[in-house]
Chain A
Amino acid sequence: MLPADTVADRIAGTLTCAAFDHRLGGVLLLDLRPDLLDGLAAGLAGAVGGPARVVTLGADDTDDTLWVSTGSGFAPAAGRLRESPDETLIVVVPDLSRAGLAVTRAATVLIGADGAVADRHGTHAAWRPRARWLAACPAAAAQRLSPHLLDRFPVRVAAAGFGTPPRTSAQIRAALDQDTPGLPPGLAVPSPLTGPLPVMSAAAATAVTGVVGESPSPHRRDLALARAARVVAVSDRAGTVEPRHVHRAAELLGLRSPAPASLAPATVEPASSPEPTSSPEPATTGDGTAAWPEAVEADTAVGQPLRPALTSVLPPAAGPAAVPEQMLYPEDSPDALPDFASLRPPWQRAGTRRPGRGPVIGTEPAGRPVDIAYLATVLEAAKFRRIRHGAAAPLRIHASDLRSNRRQPQPDAALVLLLDHTSRRGWDVTAALAPYLGWAYTRRAAVSLIELGHRDAVSELQAERRRLSGVLDPALNVALDRAPARATPLAHGLDLALQEMRLRRRNLPIRDGEAWLVVVSDGRGNVPLEASQRDVLPRSVSRAGVDDAVTVAGGFAGLRAVRAVVLAPPELSHYRDLPFALAGAMAGIVARPDGAP
């Protein structure tokens, strides 16, 4: 039976399940180290037991790369997601929260679908989706994703602690010599699993619904768990899926699994040696295709012993694996704030359009040869080829054929709002913020929120940065309702704000004078910058927290055309000069409510 004792076990187990059965659904690894994903994809490709093609999708993929592309002679060719029966497609999304709109929409319509069609640019293609989708995402960002998209990834693994970097000199040397991405240390190579599909027992089906429990949309998770249990049963060479397989699958998938009665010692099967994996007869995979199991390699690239997937040397489900505390299904939380309609094409918004910047949302006739959409241009020229030059003439592109990418307009104004919640005790800051929020709304500005000193913070010594979809983002209202905590990592918050402002100015066409930094604070930082960066409580603070904040704030003075304002609370009984020191360092101003002393 597939082990599920560690994170590595769970990852290897889910990869084995995904390799065996394409219907399992997408696998989402939360908080996985980004450099490990390629290795996992390679492992998954090896586990499917046949030719496999790995494609990595990201923020720059568009409909024109995913569905229909250009081949030799500019002829339309299969896009990156097009599948053929003779190879398995492994789709890798390194960061689902940053994937482009075309990628997230494709995942929504392809994963778990019975059929797929592509109809673009005069071509039609249909195929049966059998791709395995492997994605990673920071857990904090997952709750902002569309629940509809997350539903396509019913298999989740909390992978934050996975893949400790090599420490011994031998391991480091081995890693240096490694040319291709290998499996992370501690992960067994999943072997291609084969065998007939066992029958689901009624007790197992009941166990599935019991483990998944109440959920707004339970069916896809029911099916994912049931299919994973079926793979566990195959690995156990069982003819029927039993509740113990369901509970082991639940541990693999990180679902909370109650200790089942059937796991009592009396029912535990003795450890048995399975049949050798090198059976001379082809067996059937979960997809109904014939495949021969491959011999298990002796060692991984870094010398870790392998755990063959077909062995059953461990007693079945000797105890539930440690249930991860992390919430694997953040979309179920009542606190989840997914971006509204994030799978829909963007609405029109004000702002400047610059060639070559912003997500591609279509094509249009080109006024000048900039940011050319090559496929659309060639197709346009092809329509007139015969009438212009005759059938035998080579394809020639005229100026009138040129098509450029139509891009979503990007904001040309930015607001970075820093909220120091410890300075807001009893002070409703909404009125003071109103002019700046109103400006950001009318200018359709890019809005970033830096928060510090509140009780919901993951670490009280650190500030948090979040990019909002605009001032109407519900997250802003949530932020304005937070309760203050005791620590004030103001220096860290300003450091984040400084980085954020630099990023905004670098990545967006921000106009001069159209970038505002609004700091809501009394300037009384009590956490030195180094303590925040290391996330360790300082032994003594003294003025270090204040001094660091002023020092960091000095960085804003060097940012051209950024306007800075400190909104200080009405009551400044102590250290009245601090907000002014902060604003002075930033070359900004202090604004206080009317009538403040």
Chain B
Amino acid sequence: MSVLPYSRIVAQNHLKQALEIAYVSPAVGGVLATGRRGTAKSTTVRAFSRMVSGDLPVTLPLGATEDRVVGGWNVDRLLQGESTWMPGLIEEAGGGDSTGVLYVDEINLLEDHLVNILLDAAATGILTVQRDGVSRSNVPVRFNLAGTMNPEEGGLRPQLLDRFGLVVWVDSAASASERAEILTTVLEFERLSAGPPEELRAAYAADEEHHRRLDAARSRVPGIVIPEKAATMAAAIAVEFGLDGHRGELAMLRAARAIAAIAGDGEVDAGHLTEAAPLALVHRRGTSESGTLRRWSAEDDAIVARATSAAG
């Protein structure tokens, strides 16, 4: 299936960075991209998935029924008189040894009860199925949620927002030249797709190189040092923002470590934390009960700077 090569996506630097962080350091948690319509959120996620796994992500579609999310009987076989269990999308994405990605397009339009199921499985890493006469307990599932949404259609509940390690605001391209570059890139790729396969393969060459770099960074992550000073800075930032619990600073530190690994640095410093803070904290600081996200502002940057300098 031809998806625009990841390396050819114009702009979207924040979203790209968040996806790369989540890939390099899966422990950071999932990524939520929120932005207005037509900002290539889904395209970027799919292109990234194609780059790192060679295929589109496991996708939870709108209209999915509960049996396909948690698993259920294979109905074709049932009608032939055989009982065969069919794993659901959660297991498909996170049932193996590695941490998978479960992608939910338009996640804010998903039915509430499905959101609750996702929430439970993502929070505990355990899937429990008790339905249709089947009992499957403590099925380990490790998956990162990747979601995209348009806030014009309503927000996400704060509990679900908190499950995402990183949240990114995606904006439209501001300048006419950038818009022209976007459409030229897209149309050129469509032209290549209709042409000989070797030209299409060549378009993905840069993706393969980028994928290798990310894999190398991923292998470096365990060796990245988090000095005492960086941990103190993260704690100070959390205090300044009045965060509940430790999930915020942990996500920030893990993201900072991934940023350091991608950059080829040996240890986490204030710069990495400053870069990670907007992604890890935008949805954790002072979000109203409605789930409406407050955008990251210059004032927030100033808070981060104050906290890091005080702790440093």
Contacts and interface: CB of A to CB of B under 8 A. Distances in A.
B81 A115 contact: no
A344 B176 CA distance: 33
A587 B237 CA distance: 70
A205 B183 contact: yes
Interface string A52-93: 000000000001001100000111100000000000000000
Contacts of A334: none
Contacts of B184: 200, 202, 205
Contacts of A390: 81
Contact of A226 (B42, B89, B187, B193): B187
A585 interface: no
B60 interface: yes
A286 B39 contact: no
Given A226-B187, A286-B194, A119 B79 contact: no
A383 B78 contact: yes
Given A217-B172, A287-B194, A343-B109, A123 B75 contact: yes
B11 to A, nearest CB: 10
A108 B187 contact: no
Contacts of A67: 61, 63
Contact of B183 (A120, A199, A200): A200
B76 interface: yes
Interface string B96-131: 000000000110110110000000000000000000
A206 to B, nearest CB: 5
A76 B86 CA distance: 15
Contacts of B60: 119
Interface stretch (B148-156, B223-231, B256-264, B279-287): B148-156
A123 B61 contact: no
A121 B36 CA distance: 32
Contact of A120 (B39, B65, B191): B65
B83 interface: yes
A109 B109 CA distance: 10
A124 B68 CA distance: 8
A199 B191 contact: yes
A119 B62 contact: no
A341 B75 contact: no
B133 A219 contact: no
A289 to B, nearest CB: 9
A122 B46 contact: no
B125 to A, nearest CB: 22
Given A114-B1, A341-B153, A343-B109, A74 B64 contact: no
A399 B87 CA distance: 28
A451 interface: no
Interface in B149-175: 150, 152-154, 172-173
Contacts of B187: 197, 200, 223, 226-227, 230, 241
B126 to A, nearest CB: 21
A392 to B, nearest CB: 7
Contact of B133 (A105, A218, A222, A383): A383
Interface string A196-236: 11111010011011100000111111110011001000000
Contacts of A122: 67-68, 72-76, 78, 86
Given A205-B184, A284-B194, A118 B76 contact: no
B82 A106 contact: no
Contacts of B105: 109, 113
A151 interface: yes
A542 to B, nearest CB: 51
A417 interface: no
Contacts, number: 190
A103 to B, nearest CB: 11
Contacts of B68: 119-124
Q: Is the interface of A mostly helix, strand, loop or mixed?
A: mixed
Contact of B63 (A105, A123, A341): A105
B59 A147 contact: no
A106 to B, nearest CB: 7
Specify which of A108, A118, A219 lies most central, judged by the most chain B CB atoms within 10 Å of its CB.
A219
Determine the interface band of chain B, counting residues with CB < 8 A from chain A. 35 or more
A149 to B, nearest CB: 9
A102 to B, nearest CB: 7
A390 B179 CA distance: 63
Nearest to B180: A205
A23 interface: yes
Interface in A516-550: none
A115 B1 contact: yes
A173 B246 CA distance: 78
Contacts of B62: 105-106, 108-109
A386 B67 contact: no
Contacts of A200: 183-184, 187-188
A302 interface: no
Interface string A275-297: 00000000010111000000000
A341 B86 CA distance: 34
Contact of B182 (A123, A196, A219): A219
A130 to B, nearest CB: 12
Interface in A101-140: 102, 105-106, 108-109, 113-124, 128
Contacts of A198: 191
B277 to A, nearest CB: 28
Contacts of A440: none
Contact of B108 (A147, A284, A344): A344
Interface string B75-95: 110111111001001000000
B153 A151 contact: no
A210 B183 CA distance: 13
A226 B183 contact: yes
16 contacts: A105-B62, A105-B106, A108-B106, A109-B62, A118-B61, A119-B64, A119-B69, A122-B78, A123-B76, A128-B1, A217-B39, A219-B173, A284-B194, A383-B132, A385-B78, A386-B83
Interface of B: 1, 3, 36-40, 42-43, 46, 56, 59-65, 67-69, 72-76, 78-83, 86, 89, 105-106, 108-109, 111-112, 132-133, 150, 152-154, 172-173, 176-177, 179-184, 186-188, 190-191, 193-194
Given A109-B61, A115-B46, A221-B38, 9 more contacts: A102-B63, A109-B106, A115-B3, A120-B63, A196-B194, A341-B154, A379-B75, A382-B78, A390-B81
Please list the 3 inter-chain residue pairs (A to B) with the smallest Cβ-Cβ separation, ordered nearest first. A391-B81, A122-B75, A119-B68
